[in-house]
Amino acid sequence: MYSNFISLSKKAFESLGEQALFLGSFFRNIFRRDFEWNELIRQCYLIGYRSFPIVALTGFVLGFVLTLQTNPSMKEFGAQNMVPGMVSISAIREICPVIIALICAGKISSGIGAELGSMNVTEQIDAMEVSGANPIQYLVVTRILASTLMIPLLTIFADGVAIIGGFIGTNISGDMSLSLYFRKSIAALVFSDIFPSFIKSVLFGFVIGFVGCYQGLHSNRGTESVGLAANAAVVSASVWIIIIDAIAVQITSAFVYN
Amino acid sequence: MEENVIDIKGLKKNFGDKEVLKSVSFSVKKGENMIVMGRSGEGKSVTIKCIVGLIWQDEGSVKVFGKEVKEMTENELKEMRTKVGFLFQNAALYDSMTVAENLAFPLTRVLKIKNAEEIKTRIHETLDSVGLEDTVDKMPSDLSGGMRKRIGLARTLIVKPEIILYDEPTTGLDPITSAEISELILAIQKKNNASSIIITHDMQCAKITGDRMVLINEGECIGEGSYEELQHSPDKFIQSFFK
Ligand SMILES: Nc1ncnc2c1ncn2[C@@H]1O[C@H](COP(=O)(O)OP(=O)(O)OP(=O)(O)O)[C@@H](O)[C@H]1O
Ligand SMILES: [Mg+2]
């Protein structure tokens, strides 16, 4: 039992060390000559554009459900006209960034993990390395940058859709013009709601790309390890997202909201 | 012309408890085709992976162009790898890219050729030499096993490496294509004065392409010489390869 614990924590530390090294090689390779613009654009397309439908659906449902859920209790206090502001604040500050990041951990992190994992298993990464090309520059840098760029954009998009969802939710019971609804929900927002949440989603995007690449490139030999890499990518990206969220809320409440 | 471009001495490699290579030694001279044979799972692929630093040996020395691979800096290793072509046993084509993109990859990333016209001609030439001009726009997943192997060969040869490590170039090919590939390997040797290590189980290929052969068994070299020399070796085990 005790020795089990020791070997487990030893493994955890080793993997942390490896991730730190991997992080180092990512940063060393960003500024190399011959940046892979084409691959970056392709990845942005794959990661960003392809995720639009699911992000739109999620954002819409979030705003819609949040409105329907809060409406009755706000009605009791006669504070129904505060619903738009409340929904937009909670969606933008917390719910959209985290939910979208978790969904993307499932969709993008696992996708990258499986793709690089299978490239690893079929020796494609070795082939790149042996030809004298740089797999980190071509595969890793582009994917991490693409997800760091696209996740915040997807989150902003989801924020907007959530507000629309909230509008439709309001109009099921009451009725409020779209322009009034928008004014109410935007008026409730201040810079300190938007900026920290944007930074947070940038970090989420980085983690999603980074973890996917790390797990994919460090998969074992054998086809079953492709599935394991994808799985490990989702789990560890999700854990990181929650940890970052917990830390971020401490930082923002200490500095920004006061 | 007697310098060794590859020098392997006392190569030893274990994976966990499994002893794969015990003491493998052989060398390849400039312009020479060296055949490596041995039973499946004896560590032939491992041996050539040690040459390019994909696998690091436990003991022993591997020198390429007279320089110890283990002691190379990152840049020296990269430089060496650009001069050494490696044909993977399973071809290892990049499956998110078309055949043309696969072939262009080492040209643009390693040789840094920017001229689109030159890239196109070279792709065309090389595909022609492996007899697959009409696959340019296909994805690797749409090719048969033997075609993938030949595209892998094309991707290895397109940069005109000085040393080529072929891991079973003719396995999975029909006898006619096998013979064509063997002739191609021979032609490359003549044309570019390339030196090669050719791992193969195909005696026909060994006979056509090989200048010398080495046999690996139980992690050690058990015979070395020309095709004829080994063919008439008194050793029963060596004999059994020629039947
Ligand atoms: N990266 C690795 N990790 C662990 N074991 C390995 C690794 N690479 C090879 N091996 C083991 O080393 C042994 C030799 O493998 P290798 O691929 O070199 O055989 P081979 O001689 O090329 O056989 P074949 O003719 O079938 O290709 C095998 O038992 C294999 O399982
Ligand atoms: Mg092999």
Rounded CA separation B28/B5 (Å) = 6
Task: Name which of A37, A197, A44 is nearest A108 in CA terms.
Answer: A44
Q: Which residues does chain A have within 8 Å of residue B105's beta carbon, measured at their own beta carbons?
A: 128, 131, 133
Contact A29/B at CB under 8 A: no
What pLDDT is recorded for position B45? 95
CB-CB: which of B79, B110, B112 is closest to A131? B110
In 10 A of CB B118, how many CB atoms? 12
Contact B159/A at CB under 8 A: yes
Q: B79, B88, B153: best mutation site toward chain A, by most A Cβ within 10 Å?
A: B88
Ligand 1 interacting residues, C-beta cut-off 6 A: A 221; B 15, 20, 38, 40-46, 89
CB A132 within 8 A of CB B82: yes
Residues 6 or more apart in contact with residue B27 via CB below 8 angstroms? B4, B6, B7, B8
What pLDDT is recorded for position A235? 96
In percent, the amount of chain B with pLDDT more than 70 equals 99
Q: Which residues does chain B have within 8 Å of residue A34's beta carbon, measured at their own beta carbons?
A: 109, 112
Residues 6 or more apart in contact with residue A44 via CB below 8 angstroms? A146, A149, A150
Side chain identity at B196, as an amino acid letter? S
Q: Is residue A257 very low, low, confident or very high in pLDDT (cuts 50, 70, 90)?
A: low
Tokens of A151: 């996740």
Quick check: B94 and A119 CB within 8 A?
A: yes
Tokens of B147: 């075609």
Ligand number, closest to the Cα atom of B39 = 1
What pLDDT is recorded for position A232? 95
CA distances from A184 to A160, A163, A175, A176, A187 (A): 14, 11, 14, 10, 5
User: In the β-sheet with B59-64, what is the strand arrangement from edge to edge?
Assistant: B67-68, B59-64, B4-15, B18-29, B220-225, B212-217, B33-38, B195-199, B163-167, B84-87
Domain boundaries, position B29: 4-240
With CA atoms as reference, the chain B residue closest to A126 would be B54
Quick check: B105 and A133 CB within 8 A?
A: yes
Residue A91 has pLDDT above 70, yes or no: yes
* pLDDT digits 0-9 by tens, B8-52: 999 999 999 999 999 999 999 999 999 999 999 999 999 999 999
Q: What are phi and psi of A78, to 5 degrees?
A: 65, 25
DSSP-assigned letter for residue A92: I
Contact B23/A at CB under 8 A: no
Task: Name which of B134, B132, B198, B142 is nearest B171 in CA terms.
Answer: B198
CB-CB: which of B81, B92, B96 is closest to A123? B92
Q: How many helices and strands, by DSSP H and E, does chain A display? A: 12, 0
Is this complex's ipTM strictly greater than 0.90?
yes
Protein residue with least CA distance to atom 5, ligand 1: B15
Q: Report the gap between the CA of B96 and the closest CA in chain A (Å).
A: 9
Q: Report the gap between the CA of B117 and the closest CA in chain A (Å).
A: 19
Q: Which residues does chain B have within 8 Å of residue A121's beta carbon, measured at their own beta carbons?
A: none
Residue B103 has pLDDT above 60, yes or no: yes
Protein residue with least CA distance to atom 26, ligand 1: B40
Q: Which of B20, B86, B168 to mutate to test the pocket of ligand 1 (most atoms within 8 A of CB)?
A: B20
How would you classify the pairing of strands B67-68 and B84-87?
unpaired
* pLDDT digits 0-9 by tens, A101-128: 999 999 999 999 999 999 999 999 999 9
Rounded CA separation B240/B222 (Å) = 13
Ligand number, closest to the Cα atom of A120 = 1
The single residue listed with the structure tokens 């032939």 is B44
Rounded CA separation B52/B50 (Å) = 6
Contact A220/B at CB under 8 A: no
Residues 6 or more apart in contact with residue A217 via CB below 8 angstroms? A22, A116, A120, A125, A135, A140
Tokens of B194: 């390339």
CB-CB: which of B54, B94, B105 is closest to A130? B54
Q: Give me the number of domains chain B comprises.
A: 1
CATH at B11: 3.40.50.300
Task: Name which of B130, B183, B187 is nearest B154 in CA terms.
Answer: B130
- Terminal Cα-to-Cα distance of chain A (whole angstroms): 47
What pLDDT is recorded for position A179? 86
CB A147 within 8 A of CB A207: no
Residue B1 has pLDDT above 50, yes or no: no
Break chain A into its structural domains and give their ranges.
34-255
Q: B15, B81, B94: best mutation site toward chain A, by most A Cβ within 10 Å?
A: B94
Side chain identity at B68, as an amino acid letter? E
Quick check: B88 and A134 CB within 8 A?
A: no
What pLDDT is recorded for position A193? 83
Atom of ligand 1 nearest to the CA of B46: 18
CB-CB: which of B84, B88, B109 is closest to A123? B88
With CA atoms as reference, the chain B residue closest to A42 would be B96
pTM, 2 dp: 0.91
* pLDDT digits 0-9 by tens, B107-156: 999 899 989 999 999 999 999 999 999 999 999 999 998 899 999 999 99
